[in-house]
């Protein structure tokens, strides 16, 4: 018995010391093994630093730069490792050392750091995070032992500098953020339709012409507003060399992206011969996908080889990103030169032509000892032999590539697109759309369940992308990427079994003081109140639920239009919706408001919470909100959040709303979405029929697409009459016309709230 009890206690001790969920020091990403011990180390100007390898001088300078800025002192170097109050850096370059791993021991006398070059740098980053908001000349560090290593070897962040341009000073600041979180790849998206941003000596017009556009789209995409301000900028080769060296010192490899064959309008504007038609082009002012792309002829390939020659000299990393995404084939279909290649090479279609083109580029890059990486479209028409795939249209491309023994970097939109909203669009600055909350990022596991143990090894990591169509300045890049970057870092560094969202949020809130010190414009979306409307089990009543992570604070709300505070109503149960309501809410912790006030209005109508049937069900891809979303008393907001819409591909909408009983009505409206860039079209016609018995329907009216109000709402006003059933038929636009994105494909038809009164 005693023996059993002893082993039980022993197991308890082991499991406590290996549990990371009680680790609440502000280190992000969470170290994989850490034990806190009583006592502390005093770091001050009396502390010295010892190193066993000259290579570490760079790290010492980096650490001292931080201390000088934050604490107005620096550590003096010593060659006596036995001295008390010393930081000892021991570089271990042995094969047994796991890449990028480190051990950090802090005791009252010494700080001892062991690891490879990268590992030692990361240990110093852990210390910088522990220093956190201590800005005095005497820093207390808790005694501890950390044994740490990354879960994934590719830990990336991307930044698009084409849609909006960011100066070198900001690129360096962004790289600093990456290094703070032990991320090791900066994917620099240097070329696109809206601007070419890298100096190429052999082709000076790329930056004389291609780096500048004569105006820029602003506001919502559907509004089609453009300014006429000359906009642009580029990086000289000298600046790029400087940034590459800056990143190297921070253990970061820069992955340059030169987009091809699509997203190439800025290059074509500079050198029109690069396209199929040779027609003059402007650098694009608006967003989207453009049809003038690189021709697959030899002269364009030679141009790209020349460009890549200069790129490969500037960027010493193993990989070159060649884009490969969103390349319309319209021009290739009509181009004599492209078609003659298809014939000569015996290719099936333009997808195989794209594959042929990428394979030729790959062969060239491989001949220089480098590897290509491309967006998952490079799978279409056959993957180049040694290519690595960056999976962005979900994980399917990554899964297919891993099954085919190709390396994969995961970057699926739902988890890794930091241009998406991070809280409800009603409470956020305009973004491109989508919804990728901090919690969603944190929940990501880059290894798909579909892969077996052997295939899983091909997933080398993940990265998040920051596309900047709607990100106009540096402050906004910070807002969109922080603190989601912190969550991503934990996805990539911390082993799955050690991850814990609650614990992350505790550490993150402490870590905010460090971001405050660095004057980072980070988002506080995690404190934002979410609203959800739902019906009860019998579909009789409607409720509005307010929710936030309860560990972050309590929700207070008002119904009278006043700003909520801690004397308002404390939320503890869903609010019943009868008629009309205006709710304002906010999160409070220790009497302090967190985040922003969020207000919403709801109004029920005769269709709210009634039954609906469809002749053809919506697509499984656009039905996540369920049928209730059409009759829940809340119109979908723009830009689109998918769970507020139902969508049909190629089909008409044919639905009947059952109002439960015959009643007098004179108004019906239904909302549609127009997003032609994404193949979503308004219906060509909308018919309304009413019936008292559900069998005999009378046509009441029909509307053409140009009668749809503000491109959005089909509104029927008719003579007051009795009805229990309303049938709506909305005609799908059909196949997309040539010259438009998605030409020849089925168009989509999306609808949201139906209101009847």
Q: Which two tokens stand for residue 655?
A: 């639905």
**Binding characters for ligand ACM, 392-411, by CB under 6 A (x = yes):** x-------------------
338 binds Zn ion (CB under 5 A): yes
Rounded CA-CA distance 687/707 in Å is: 12
Residue span binding Zn ion (CB under 5 A) among the ranges 158-166, 293-301, 434-442, 568-576: 293-301
Q: By C-alpha distance, which of 257, 287, 56 is closest to 164?
A: 287
| Cβ contacts of 463 within 8 Å, gap of 6 or more | 154, 155, 156, 157, 158, 185, 187, 390, 409, 410, 411, 416, 488
Quick one: DSSP state of residue 437? Answer: -
341 binds Zn ion (CB under 5 A): no
40 binds ligand ACM (CB under 6 A): no
Q: Which two tokens stand for residue 289?
A: 């996908």
The residue within the footprint of ligand ACM, chosen from 148, 326, 478, 669 (CB under 6 A), is 326
CB 348 to ligand ACM: min, Å: 24
Which segments within 559-620 are labelled E, that is strand? 569-570, 575-576, 580-589, 592-603, 611-614
- Active-site choice (100, 257, 292, 326): 326
Burial label for 747, CB within 10 Å (0-12, 13-18, 19+), is buried
338 binds, among ligand ACM, Zn ion, none (CB under 5 to 8 A by kind): Zn ion
If the CB atoms of residues 262 and 461 are measured against Zn ion, the closer one turns out to be: 262
**Binding characters for ligand ACM, 334-363, by CB under 6 A (x = yes):** ------------------------------
CB 276 to Zn ion: min, Å: 3
Q: By C-alpha distance, which of 582, 447, 493 is closest to 129?
A: 493
Specify whether 326 is catalytic: yes
295 binds, among ligand ACM, Zn ion, none (CB under 5 to 8 A by kind): Zn ion
The residue within the footprint of ligand ACM, chosen from 152, 188, 319, 375 (CB under 6 A), is 375
If the CB atoms of residues 189 and 331 are measured against Zn ion, the closer one turns out to be: 331
Backbone angles phi, psi at 377, to 5 degrees: -60, -20
Burial label for 596, CB within 10 Å (0-12, 13-18, 19+), is middle
Specify whether 242 is catalytic: no
325 binds ligand ACM (CB under 6 A): yes
If the CB atoms of residues 289 and 659 are measured against ligand ACM, the closer one turns out to be: 289
Q: By C-alpha distance, which of 453, 444, 551, 420 is closest to 493?
A: 444
Specify whether 420 is catalytic: no
Q: How many helices (H) and strands (E) does the chain have?
A: 18, 35
If the CB atoms of residues 199 and 326 are measured against ligand ACM, the closer one turns out to be: 326
The overall longest dimension of the chain from CA atoms, in Å, is 96
The residue within the footprint of Zn ion, chosen from 274, 335, 416, 636 (CB under 5 A), is 335
If the CB atoms of residues 293 and 688 are measured against Zn ion, the closer one turns out to be: 293
Instruction: Report 508-537 residues binding Zn ion (CB under 5 A).
Output: none
If the CB atoms of residues 325 and 474 are measured against ligand ACM, the closer one turns out to be: 325
- Active-site choice (192, 257, 419, 469): 192
274 binds Zn ion (CB under 5 A): no
- Active-site choice (59, 189, 263, 420): 263
Residues recorded for the chain: 757
Which segments within 59-152 are labelled E, that is strand? 76-77, 86-91, 102-106, 110-115, 139-148
The residue within the footprint of Zn ion, chosen from 128, 131, 284, 295 (CB under 5 A), is 295
**Exposure string over 256-287, b if 16+ CB within 10 A, otherwise e:** bbbbbbbbbbbbbbbbeebbbeeeebebbbbb
If the CB atoms of residues 326 and 362 are measured against ligand ACM, the closer one turns out to be: 326
* Residues annotated as part of the active site: 192, 263, 326
**Residues within the interface to Zn ion (CB under 5 A):** 276, 295, 335, 337-338
């Amino acid at each position: 018995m005693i023996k059993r009890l002893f082993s039980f206690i022993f197991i308890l001790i082991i499991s406590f010391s290996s549990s990371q969920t009680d680790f609440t020091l502000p280190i992000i990403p969470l170290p994989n093994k850490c034990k806190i011990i009583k006592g502390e180390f005093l770091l001050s100007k009396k502390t010295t630093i010892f190193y066993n390898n000259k290579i570490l001088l760079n790290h010492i300078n980096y650490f001292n730069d931080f201390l000088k800025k934050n604490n107005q002192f620096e550590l003096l170097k010593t060659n006596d490792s036995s001295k008390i109050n010393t930081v000892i850096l021991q570089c271990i370059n042995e094969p047994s050392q796991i890449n990028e791993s480190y051990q950090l021991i802090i005791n009252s006398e010494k700080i001892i750091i062991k690891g490879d070059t990268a590992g030692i740098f990361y240990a110093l980053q852990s210390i910088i995070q522990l220093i956190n908001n201590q800005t005095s000349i005497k820093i207390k560090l808790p005694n501890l032992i950390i044994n740490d290593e990354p879960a994934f070897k590719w830990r990336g962040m991307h930044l698009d500098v084409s849609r909006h341009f960011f100066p070198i000073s900001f690129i360096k600041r962004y790289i600093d953020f990456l290094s703070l979180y032990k991320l090791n790849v900066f994917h620099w998206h240097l070329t696109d339709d809206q601007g070419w941003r890298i100096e190429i000596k052999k082709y000076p017009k790329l930056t004389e012409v291609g780096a500048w556009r004569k105006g820029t789209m602003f506001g919502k995409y559907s509004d089609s507003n453009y300014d006429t301000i000359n906009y642009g900028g580029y990086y000289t080769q000298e600046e790029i060399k400087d940034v590459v060296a800056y990143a190297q010192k921070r253990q970061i490899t820069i992955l340059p992206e030169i987009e091809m064959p699509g997203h190439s309008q800025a290059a074509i504007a500079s050198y029109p011969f690069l396209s199929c038609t040779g027609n003059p082009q402007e650098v694009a002012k608006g967003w989207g996908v453009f049809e003038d792309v690189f021709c697959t002829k030899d002269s364009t390939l030679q141009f790209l080889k020349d460009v890549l020659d200069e790129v490969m000299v500037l960027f010493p990393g193993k990989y070159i990103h060649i884009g490969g995404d969103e390349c319309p084939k319209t021009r290739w279909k009509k181009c004599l030169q492209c078609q003659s290649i298809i014939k000569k090479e015996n290719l099936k279609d333009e997808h195989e032509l794209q594959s042929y083109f990428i394979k030729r580029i790959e062969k060239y890059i491989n001949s220089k000892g480098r590897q290509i990486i491309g967006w998952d479209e490079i799978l279409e028409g056959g993957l180049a032999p040694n290519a690595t795939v960056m999976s962005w249209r979900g994980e399917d491309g990554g899964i297919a590539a891993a099954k085919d023994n190709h390396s994969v970097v995961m970057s699926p939109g739902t988890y890794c697109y930091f241009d998406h909203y991070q809280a409800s669009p009603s409470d956020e600055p305009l973004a491109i759309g989508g919804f990728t909350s901090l919690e969603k990022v944190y929940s990501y596991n880059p290894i798909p369940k579909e892969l077996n143990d052997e295939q899983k090894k091909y997933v080398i990591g993940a990265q998040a992308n920051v596309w900047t169509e709607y990100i106009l300045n540096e402050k906004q890049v910070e807002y969109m990427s922080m603190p989601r970057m912190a969550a991503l870092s934990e996805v990539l560094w911390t082993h799955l079994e050690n991850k814990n969202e609650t614990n992350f949020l505790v550490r993150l809130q402490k870590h905010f003081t460090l971001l405050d010190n660095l004057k980072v414009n980070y988002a506080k979306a995690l404190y934002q109140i979410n609203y959800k409307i739902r019906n009860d089990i019998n579909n009789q009543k409607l409720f509005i639920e307010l929710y936030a992570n309860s560990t972050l604070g309590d929700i207070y709300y008002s119904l009278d239009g006043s700003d909520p505070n801690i004397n308002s109503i404390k939320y503890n149960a869903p609010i019943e919706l009868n008629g009309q309501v205006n709710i304002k809410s906010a999160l409070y912790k220790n009497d302090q408001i967190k985040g922003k006030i969020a207000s919403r209005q709801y109004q029920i109508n005769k269709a709210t919470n009634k039954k609906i049937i469809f002749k053809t069900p919506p697509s499984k891809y656009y039905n996540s909100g369920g049928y209730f979303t059409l009759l829940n008393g809340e119109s979908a907001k723009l830009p689109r959040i998918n769970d507020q819409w139902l969508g049909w591909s190629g089909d008409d909408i044919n639905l009947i709303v059952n109002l439960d009983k015959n009643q007098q009505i004179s108004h019906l409206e239904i909302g549609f979405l127009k997003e032609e860039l994404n193949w979503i079209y308004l219906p060509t016609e909308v018919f309304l029929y009413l019936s008292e018995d559900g069998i005999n329907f009378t046509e009441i009216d029909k509307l053409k697409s140009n009668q749809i109000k503000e491109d959005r709402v089909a509104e029927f006003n008719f003579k007051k009459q009795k009805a229990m059933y309303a049938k709506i038929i909305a005609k799908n636009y059909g196949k997309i016309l040539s010259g438009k994105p998605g030409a020849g494909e089925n168009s989509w038809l999306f609808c949201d709230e139906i209101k009847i009164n």
